[in-house]
Amino acid sequence: MTFNLKYKPYGNQVILIEWPARIEESILEDIINFKQKIKNDNKYHVQDLIIAYNSLTIKYHYPFKDFKKQMVQLKNSYLSLTTRVVTESITWHIPVCYNLEFGLDLKGLAKEKNLSITTLIDRHSNPFYKVYFIGFLPGFLYLGGLDKTLHCNRKIVPRFNITKGSVGIGGNQTGIYPSDSAGGWNIIGRTPISFFNASLDKPCFAKSGDNIKFRPIDKIEFLEIENKIARGTFTLKQN
Amino acid sequence: MPGFFTSIQDLGRKGYGSVGVPISGAMDLYSAKIGNLTLQNKETAAVLEVTMGNCKLVFEKETKLCITGADFSATLNHKAIVLNTVININKFDVLSFGKCRFGVRSYIAISGGFKTKKVLNSRSFYHSITNNAVVLKGDLLPYNTDTKSLASTFSIVKRNSLHFNSKTLTCYRGPEYHLLTHCQTNQITSTFFSISKHNNRMAYQLNELIKNDIESMLTSAVIPGTVQLTPSGKLIVLMRDCQVTGGYPRILQLTPEAINILSQKTTQDSFQFTVI
């Protein structure tokens, strides 16, 4: 499927390409394909390519002299996207301990939603979430696919310090805090998995297009996994 | 004495936007580059960014320095030194910054650059990426000894006074500029905006409000120099440590020069936008 794209200069070194303003997996796939095409093509001197819900942002190494010329080149590349570039999408199984100690808002949210805590955990851990892109903080995944019955308002007073690994719900989104940070989401559990490690060449294991599946674990398993990670003997389940 | 906010910076961490890593780098790249050029360093050499002065450093090895950017009445062993020139440093010399004469950020370039740990191809400090986000009292900053004398070039880099005095920030139209009404664009280009107390390496918030009812947008990429218009009508100018994505309309994009100029301004300083 070809979309009607908009090309915009964003300063003198960046070009923004926009898809229709919707959050859709078909749009995400198209963006990933186009990104791959640009990445594989040596004629673009690209410093970075950033995916968001309905956009691809191209940062060039050097300022461009002629935006129109760049745009035509990109348009042609997009139109020549006949065969899909195969990008492997991985499903990552993320262990999450949904207990009252880690899930600071688990009780409150269940009450607000008139659900039992077990039902809330089921509805949060059953779906396969789509990774749209990474932003906000290093290693923070924007995930799509949260059960509608779990949509909720952000907290009126944000917390100053949310512990790394906390799993939360805010608005129609769910996500994992990759580092200690302030935030206004409702916290329902915690994962021992690190989503960002600056000492690795690939600092975040997940990428746009991957899937995330949460697996409920108890505190004992949480501590075991934490221990294994510290000793370097833990492997994250993926398929 | 580390001063108000002192950090190691270079040209920044490029190419990691897709995993959410900010670019960082010297706020005033223009001044940082002059320092490295004067010392005949590589452009990528790491410098020390000193914000608002009040900083004291003791050197443990011989080397050469060049101090650029803001003027904080720098002294070497209590003797005044000249900015933008090569300064020879001996063992146990003491460099101090005092009262601010002009500017906000001063740069100490050192022969060969500071040698703190490189993380993701850059030495720029950023919390959760480098071990330190800021230089603390007692920290040791590694550098190489240098006793060679530089080939004389006879030319001293002349200070561009406009860089510190300019009241105009030149910018391009941002990706959402077209959503502004005629009335809003008039207001944006005719208002003298003043900088609020919320200004740091991530962003500068401005005091004056623009009446705004633009609909919210889907989160998309942002870059240093982007001017966002928030629902409350407040303008936020993103700076070097900004996040990689944001959800507010991007109405303007500062030119690279304008970002450097803004980096040398602080709370209550004012300026106008000129759209090209």
Q: Is the pLDDT of residue B21 over 90?
A: yes
Which amino acid does the sequence have at B183? Answer: C
CA nearest to B121 within chain A: A201
Of chain B, the end-to-end C-alpha distance in Å amounts to 43
- Check residue A163 and give its pLDDT: 96
Contact A165, A191 (CB under 8 A): yes
The residue in chain A having the minimum alpha-carbon distance to the alpha carbon of residue B127 is A179
Q: Which of A79-83, A197-201, B265-269 has the lowest mean pLDDT?
A: A79-83
Residue B120 sits at the vertex; the CA angle it makes with A12 and A70, to the nearest 5 degrees, is 25
Q: In chain A, what percentage of residues exceed pLDDT 90?
A: 82
Asked whether residue A224 carries a pLDDT value surpassing 80, the answer given is: yes
Co-location of B110 and B183 in the same domain? no
Residues 20-59 of A with CB under 8 A from B: 21, 23, 47-55, 57, 59
Confidence of residue A213 (pLDDT cuts 50, 70, 90): very high
Q: pLDDT tens for residues A12-42?
A: 999 999 999 999 999 999 999 999 999 988 7
Q: CB contact, 8 Å: B122 with chain A?
A: no
Instruction: Decide if A47 and B15 are in contact by the 8 Å CB cutoff.
Output: yes
Beta bridge partners of B49: B7, B107
Q: Domain ends where: B131, B161, B191?
A: B161
Selection from A131, A140, A213, A142 nearest residue A171 by Cα: A142
Instruction: Name the average pLDDT for chain A.
Output: 93
- Chain A neighbors of B18, CB-CB under 8 A: 48-51, 133-134, 207-208
pLDDT at A57 over 60: yes
Judge if B141 and B180 occupy the same domain.
Answer: no
pLDDT of residue A157: 82
pLDDT band at B254 (very low <50, low <70, confident <90, very high): very high
For an interface test with A, which of B245, B252, B254 has the most A Cβ atoms less than 10 Å from its Cβ? B245
| pLDDT value for A172 | 87
What confidence tier does A7 reach under pLDDT thresholds 50, 70, 90? very high
From A53, A57, A138, residue closest to B128, measured CB to CB: A138
Q: Is the pLDDT of residue B154 over 60?
A: no
Q: Is B141 within 8 Å of chain A by CB?
A: no
Could you tell me the strand order of the sheet in which A186-190 lies? A141-144, A129-134, A211-217, A91-97, A186-190, A166-170, A173-176
Candidate ranges A108-112, B151-155, B156-160; pick with highest mean pLDDT = A108-112
Chain B interface disruption, residue of A5, A16, A50, most B CBs within 10 A: A50
Closest CA to A224 of A215, A233, A213: A233
| Segment holding B163, helix H or strand E | helix B162-165
Query: Same domain for B257 and B122?
Result: no
Q: What tokens does A75 get?
A: 């348009």
User: Each residue of A149-195: pLDDT tens digit?
Assistant: 999 988 888 888 999 999 999 888 999 999 998 888 999 999 999 99
CA distances from A83 to A73, A210, A228 (A): 18, 20, 43
Instruction: Inform me whether the C-beta atom of residue B231 falls under 8 Å from chain A C-beta atoms.
Output: no
Which pLDDT does position A155 carry in this prediction?
84
Residue A11 to residue B177: CA distance in whole angstroms: 12
pLDDT tens-digit readout, B96-105:
999 889 999 9
Nearest to A191 by CA among A211, A171, A212, A166: A166
What CATH code is carried by the domain that includes residue B234? 2.40.100.10
Question: Do B143 and B231 lie in a common domain?
Answer: no
| Whether the Cβ atoms of residue B244 and residue A138 lie closer than 8 Å to each other | no
Give residue for tokens 């991530």. B202
Q: Are residues B56 and B155 in the same domain?
A: yes
Question: Is the same domain home to B5 and B128?
Answer: yes
* Residue B254: both structure tokens together: 């500062």
In angstroms, the separation between the Cα of residue A178 and the nearest Cα of chain B is 10
Same domain, B187 and B144: no
Rounded to whole angstroms, the maximal C-alpha distance in chain B is 62
Could you give the number of structural domains in chain B? 2
Q: Determine the distance in angstroms separating the CA of A118 from the nearest CA of chain B, rounded to an integer.
A: 32
Residue where a domain terminates, one of B118, B133, B161: B161
Question: How large a percentage of chain A has pLDDT more than 70?
Answer: 97
Domains of chain A with CATH codes:
6-79 (3.30.1360.40), 91-231 (2.40.100.10)
Q: Which residues of A touch B130 (CB under 8 A)?
A: 198
- What DSSP letter does each residue of B171-205 carry, written as one string? EEEPTTGGGS-HHHHHHHHH--EEEEEEESSSEEE
pLDDT at B2: 79
Same-domain pairing of B25 and B123: yes
Give per-residue pLDDT as tens, B213-239. Answer: 888 789 999 999 999 999 889 999 999
Sheet holding B75-76, edge to edge: B56-58, B94-96, B75-76, B79-80
Q: What average pLDDT does the segment B118-144 reach?
A: 93
Segment 97-126 of chain A within 8 Å of chain B by CB? none
Same structural domain, B51 and B132 = yes
If you count them, how many residues does chain A have? 239
Among B15, B219, B223, beta carbon nearest to A142? B219
Give the Cα separation of B252 and B237 in Å (integer): 9
Looking at residue A1, its pLDDT comes to 67
Give exposure, A48-68, as e/b (b: 16+ Cβ within 10 Å): bbbbbbbbbbbbbeeebeeee
The whole-angstrom separation of Cα A75 and Cα A80 is 9
Instruction: Indicate whether B152 pLDDT > 80.
Output: no
Q: Does A135 touch chain B (CB under 8 A)?
A: yes
Range of the domain at B245: 166-275
Please say if the pLDDT value at position B55 is more than 80.
Answer: yes
Between positions 136 and 155 of A, the ones with CB within 8 A of B are: 136-140, 142
Q: Verify whether the Cβ–Cβ distance B243 to A136 is below 8 Å.
A: yes
Ramachandran class of B118: left when φ > 0, alpha when ψ lies in -120 to 50, beta otherwise = beta
Q: Tell whether B243 is within 8 A of chain A (Cβ).
A: yes
**A134 shares contact with chain B (CB less than 8 Å):** yes
Domain boundary among B161, B192, B209: B161
pLDDT tens digits, A87-112: 688 999 999 999 999 999 999 999 99
Whether the predicted pLDDT of A139 surpasses 60: yes
CB of B202 less than 8 A from some CB of A: no
Judgement on whether residues B174 and B251 belong to the same structural domain of the protein: yes
pTM to 2 decimals? Answer: 0.93
Q: How far apart are the first and last CA of chain A?
A: 27
CB contact under 8 Å between A133 and B245, yes or no, is: yes
Instruction: Indicate the residue of B129, B223, B255 with minimum beta-carbon distance to A10.
Output: B223
- Among B217, B243, B250, the residue with its CB nearest the CB of A135 is B243
Report the residue from A55, A203, A204 with minimal CB separation from B220. Answer: A55
Tokens 């796939």, located at residue = A29
Quote the tokens at residue B242.
Answer: 């900004």
Q: B101 and B196 share a domain? A: no
Residues B122 and B205 in one domain: no
What are the E-state strand segments in chain B?
Answer: 5-9, 47-51, 56-58, 63-71, 75-76, 79-80, 87-89, 94-96, 102-110, 168-173, 193-199, 203-206, 220-221, 226-229, 235-238, 245-246, 250-254, 270-275
Contact in structure between B180 and B212 (CB atoms under 8 Å): no
Average pLDDT score over residue span A121-136: 96
CB contact under 8 A, A203 and B120: yes
Q: Give the pLDDT score at B63.
A: 95
Q: What is the mean pLDDT of residues A133-156?
A: 92
Task: Say what percent of chain B tops pLDDT 90.
Answer: 84
Rg (CA), chain B: 20
Q: Rounded CA gap, B220 and B213, in Å? A: 19
- Kindly report the average pLDDT of chain B as a whole number: 93
Q: Measure Cα distances from B212 to A227, B125, B185 in Å.
A: 51, 36, 11
